[in-house]
Amino acid sequence: MPAQNPQSPTTAIDILLEPDATMLGHAQANNARLLKVFPKGFALDEAHRPHITLIQRFVRTVDLDKIYAAAEKVFAGASVTCMQLEAFKYYYAPGKDTGVAGIVARPTPALLTLQQVLIAAIAPFTVETGPIDAFTAPHDDSAYDALLIGYVSTFVPKQTGDQFSPHVSTGVAPRDYLDKMLAEPFAPFAFSPAGAAAYQLGPFGTAAKKLKEWNLKS
């Protein structure tokens, strides 16, 4: 698999944790539900892999291999697959008329430490922002492009540390429907990370193109 995105000198990346079968089952069930009410949304597939984002950054494409090496050292020092996480609610990130929904897990000290160490490890290779070409594809609506670029540009610090909300995105639906879904009772469940990888981000902030994966040892 090529290490670089030949179309842009900047790549929008997501270094993430891949959830276990328990979380995958819940995410797939919610995705099927959302697709019934909003077929224009996305299915969870190879271009929309369920995941828990640790960090999203714009980086120099030529430095991707250096980023992989730096992240590998971080994961080698963390017992990621031994982490016990608890999913406890639904949420959604609002757009104009629709929202991107997901299942939220409680942050743990180990997860927060892992995030901060990763941020520091890849900081030398990041850039402040980037164009939509840094993603695998644009949205049909340029307003979504602008929202996504802004989100990734400010992920550190706005979505990290005390603001970190680990979650698995599950699909898109109208906001009024999602408001009703969030009001429903949610049965908490336990799960663990099963792997770690770096992806190029796609539309709606999905993990669209796998760039690198790491073999995590307990």
Question: In terms of Cα–Cα distance, which of 17, 26, 87 is closest to 52?
Answer: 17
Going 83 to 19 to 211 to 158, the CA torsion angle's sign is negative
The predicted structure's pLDDT at residue 2: 40
What is each CA distance from 126 to 60, 62, 91, 194, in whole angstroms?
6, 11, 29, 27
Fold of the domain built from segment(s) 10-208: Cyclic Phosphodiesterase; Chain: A, (3.90.1140)
The predicted structure's pLDDT at residue 37: 98
Distance CA 217, CA 187 (A): 30
The predicted structure's pLDDT at residue 1: 40
H-assigned helices in 19-141: 21-37, 64-76, 109-122
The predicted structure's pLDDT at residue 10: 97
The predicted structure's pLDDT at residue 47: 76
Residues in the chain: 218
pLDDT per position in the chain (218 positions), as tens? 444 445 689 999 999 999 999 999 999 999 999 999 999 999 998 878 899 999 999 999 999 999 999 999 999 989 899 999 999 999 999 888 999 999 999 999 999 999 999 999 999 999 999 999 999 999 888 888 998 999 999 999 999 999 999 999 999 999 999 999 999 999 999 999 999 999 999 988 888 899 999 987 65
Name residue 61's beta-bridge partners.
none
Question: Which DSSP symbol is given to 3?
Answer: S
The predicted structure's pLDDT at residue 3: 43
The predicted structure's pLDDT at residue 218: 53
The predicted structure's pLDDT at residue 122: 97
Strands, E, within 36-185: which ranges?
A: 52-60, 85-94, 98-105, 126-127, 167-174
Distance CA 103, CA 83 (A): 17
The predicted structure's pLDDT at residue 193: 95
Q: Where are the domains of the chain?
A: 10-208
Tell me the whole-structure pTM to 2 decimals: 0.89
The predicted structure's pLDDT at residue 98: 92
